[in-house]
Structure 1
């Protein structure tokens, strides 16, 4: 008997999905599966529900929601043998897309039933996990403004990006990787495990979830016209060709943010503040058993 726990965010995708307990159970015969469905009620509730599912002996735990729900559930499964499934019903769905998990709910549930598993790399920022990407530059400012808008739509993201382009103030940073140390003044300092951010956009199209490396992309502070030019490179997924770009694949990056004791960071599309200026980012190879 396979014990599957579904952790469902009922308001993901504006709450328009059909992920009821009765619907989910139609895909998993009771003779083979024991299915439990949990509904999240608040931010970080999925973490508590994942711990509960582990205590109850789950062999598969499925995150049904957007990037935030997926991040919360996956965080508790790093380094464990419990398999991780995704039903993407959020707005961005970057990690699910990179894993070739379909947006159609019925197809995603069928995929979970087949249980094809890969061992996926996970990123670590001062011990906190990320699965898609994280960043210290303008992307963190964009996410901060995007969250303040209260609307999880592509249009809201674009408005946040345009506002951030006008208001962003770069911070001096010292970056070390592969034995080299550089002082940088970045518009964008982006570190990725995945080749997609969501909404089919990518800053690191060469990134892989299984290569044991992180993709580091730094774009220095540039004028608005060059920012627009960089945006075109993003659209055609050729960011590493932009002449001002510093791009490398590596397993560990150290970042010191100078003259700034408190700093905002985006992690998997969520904004966090840290009371430190020192950050260590590294990859934990093949540490998440994900169904894809």
Structure 2
């Protein structure tokens, strides 16, 4: 591994909060320089500024897109780092989290991706300087649930159907330059020809067959737009994963679905079914539909998910605003 900076940082954990000092432990940052909104030099400079201001050292690893990030994280744990930080989008964060499964080392997030859904959910600042301050000055620890697919850990959303097809239509370049707006054109193209598919769905060993436009499996409620949420009760640390089945067939159905979301009447929508899982979720279909997890396409046609409660400790602000407040 090539490190750009190095030094010492110490993390002291007490119940659900932590604080930094200079007792000799170390902070390791994984930086994705091509994440959606990332300005790598800005992240490096701000982290350097705040670490030096507080007498804290650090190491930075910049991704190339060719490495296996969970392995990099596991190597870092062997070098006695006390905090692992991820600067990137939801995909980068989940890849780093995969290497921290069942670890006591907390994960800090500097959200510089396109949607930054987990950061929004945990009220982690989206402004880079404030996020670096949180990493250095401290906060509280929230142990969030995880969704395991094979050897991969996902912590925000998994979708299959129209929603994942919209993501597949949207290019990396469009996401980088237009951010959330990049999905609008892809969504219009998809919804003009909207349709439903037949799925086999198993939740906690209970099986059923359904027809749906898409299935959203949500560990976080954030949709990434304003204060809109997939569900009023979706929380990342409640030991359960929410399954939102959207059965919209026409553009008018989608408009009705969005109206209920806007007014936080999710369960009153006639085009939506909500279910909850505590152990496992399996979705399969005969159609070659993409499966999207935390911003990346992770497979096609089927996904088998194991739920791991309280799997990843994440550093968040001490005071968390009410996400459902107007």
Q: TM-score range by the shorter chain?
A: 0.7 to 0.9
**Partner of residue 154, structure 2:** 130
**Partner of residue 217, structure 2:** 191
**Partner of residue 84, structure 1:** 107
**Partner of residue 277, structure 2:** 250
**Partner of residue 249, structure 2:** 222
Q: Distance in 2 between matches of 1:203 and 1:31?
A: 39
- Distance change >3 Å, CA 20–CA 108, structure 1 → 2: closer
Q: Distance in 2 between matches of 1:219 and 1:280?
A: 19
Q: Distance in 1 between matches of 2:36 and 2:197?
A: 35
Give, in angstroms, the shift of residue 169 of structure 1: 4.6
Please identify, of 263-272 and 119-128, the stretch whose mean Cα deviation from structure 2 is larger. Answer: 119-128
Q: Distance in 2 between matches of 1:25 and 1:137?
A: 43
Give, in angstroms, the shift of residue 75 of structure 1: 1.5
Q: Distance in 1 between matches of 2:43 and 2:257?
A: 43
1:146 equivalent among 154, 167, 170: 170
Q: Distance in 1 between matches of 2:231 and 2:293?
A: 15
Do structure 1's residue 287 and structure 2's residue 314 form an aligned pair? no
**Partner of residue 235, structure 2:** 208
**Partner of residue 12, structure 2:** none
Q: Distance in 1 between matches of 2:221 and 2:37?
A: 26
Q: Distance in 2 between matches of 1:175 and 1:97?
A: 29
Retained in 2: the 8 A contact 1:133–1:197? no
Give, in angstroms, the shift of residue 144 of structure 1: 0.6
Do structure 1's residue 95 and structure 2's residue 121 form an aligned pair? no
Give, in angstroms, the shift of residue 133 of structure 1: 0.9
Please identify, of 225-234 and 59-68, the stretch whose mean Cα deviation from structure 2 is larger. Answer: 225-234
Please identify, of 107-116 and 202-211, the stretch whose mean Cα deviation from structure 2 is larger. Answer: 107-116
Q: Distance in 1 between matches of 2:249 and 2:264?
A: 19
Please identify, of 111-120 and 76-85, the stretch whose mean Cα deviation from structure 2 is larger. Answer: 111-120
Q: Distance in 1 between matches of 2:50 and 2:205?
A: 51
Do structure 1's residue 159 and structure 2's residue 178 form an aligned pair? no
Give, in angstroms, the shift of residue 288 of structure 1: 0.4
Please identify, of 202-211 and 7-16, the stretch whose mean Cα deviation from structure 2 is larger. Answer: 7-16
Give, in angstroms, the shift of residue 138 of structure 1: 1.3
Please identify, of 158-167 and 182-191, the stretch whose mean Cα deviation from structure 2 is larger. Answer: 158-167
**Partner of residue 172, structure 1:** 198
- Distance change >3 Å, CA 15–CA 289, structure 1 → 2: closer
Which ranges in structure 2 are unaligned for 5 or more consecutive residues? 1-23, 317-326
Give, in angstroms, the shift of residue 111 of structure 1: 1.6
SS at match of 2:110: strand
SS at match of 1:12: coil
Q: Distance in 1 between matches of 2:218 and 2:37?
A: 28
Q: Distance in 2 between matches of 1:18 and 1:86?
A: 17
TM-score of the superposed pair, with normalisation by structure 1 = 0.88
**Partner of residue 108, structure 1:** 131
